[in-house]
Structure 1
């Protein structure tokens, strides 16, 4: 998988920003699509995928419960 994607949940990361989630989503979509920068005719689909993966990442992190961690480090 993408070695540059960092773990975004506690205790590995305490304060996760929208920018952190978007960067991870961008790396994921780049890896899956094989495009670092898509051609103009693929840009809309690429950008939409990044937004959807960012939203899914936020939903996942909000739903996770990590034992022994303080409640929701993102809030």
Structure 2
């Protein structure tokens, strides 16, 4: 995909800033669209896509369970019934 998009999950990083998520989303949309900066008539669609990718990224990172990581150690890897998620 795009080599400049950094991995944002444990164990690669200890914490992720909103700026890192936005930068990754921007790089992704740039790569997919082929535009570094969109023309004025595409700017709204471009920014909407960046926001959607950033939201999806936050959701993904919030829901990932990394075995042996801080989240797993805190019990984030179990469902309400106590069963282990994969």
User: Under a length normalisation based on structure 2, what TM-score does the superposition of the two structures give?
Assistant: 0.82
Structure 2: runs of 5+ lacking an equivalent: 73-86
Partner residue in 1 for 2:81: none
Structure 1: runs of 5+ lacking an equivalent: none
> Residue 20 of structure 2: SS of its match in structure 1?
helix
| 1:38-64 CA distance string (max 9 Å, x none) | 000000000000000000000000000
1:39 aligns with 2:39: yes
Aligned length: 72
Instruction: Between the two structures, name the one with larger relative contact order (CA 8 Å, sep ≥ 6).
Output: 1
Question: Rg larger in 1 or in 2?
Answer: 2
> Residue 9 of structure 1: SS of its match in structure 2?
coil
Partner residue in 1 for 2:54: 54
Deviating runs (4+, > 6 A) in structure 1? Answer: none
